Amino acid sequence: MTTGPMPPSSDRTPPTGNPTHPEPRPAARPRRLRTTRLSAAWVAVGIALVLLLLLIIFMLQNSTNVDVRFLGTDGQIPLGLAMLIAAVGGGAVVAVVGIGRITQLRLKLRRNRRDKVERD
């Protein structure tokens, strides 16, 4: 390791531009491959399999029976299954609300298109 002073910037030689022999261009960046529907589906399948495996592990680790009461009925089911049923129920509620909102937006879009055609 040298501890001496660094040479001043004026000591550096500037690059010479030779018009008869231009410098080679840098290599072009390789083009990105387009994502296809099939590749996206494979990624989704892989993620779904990992999530399913985690769900199976969760259910196996939470197999203790619990008392469940719902709308006047009662019984015992494994804790993991009870939680899965609750999650699916919550997902169904979200899906119903989402379907309602999508239907509402589609109707509004149809009305707007129909009004625009009538004005033209």
CA distance linking residue 29 with residue 15, whole number of Å: 25
Q: How confident is the model at residue 22 (pLDDT cuts 50, 70, 90)?
A: low
Which DSSP string corresponds to 14-43?
PPP--TTSPPPPPPPPPPPPPP-HHHHHHH
**95 to 36, 76, 78, 90: CA distances (angstroms):** 27, 28, 26, 9
What's the chain's Rg over C-alpha atoms? Answer: 33
pTM of this structure: 0.51
**pLDDT by residue (tens digit) across 55-110?**
889 888 888 888 988 888 889 988 888 888 889 999 999 999 999 999 999 999 99
Helices and strands (DSSP H and E) totals, the chain: 2, 2
Strand pairing class (73-78; 65-70): antiparallel
Specify whether the CB–CB gap between 64 and 78 falls below 8 A: yes
| Residue in this structure with the two tokens 């030779």, named with its chain if needed | 18
**25 to 4, 19, 69, 70: CA distances (angstroms):** 37, 14, 74, 73
**pLDDT by residue (tens digit) across 32-69?**
777 788 888 999 999 999 999 998 898 888 888 889 88
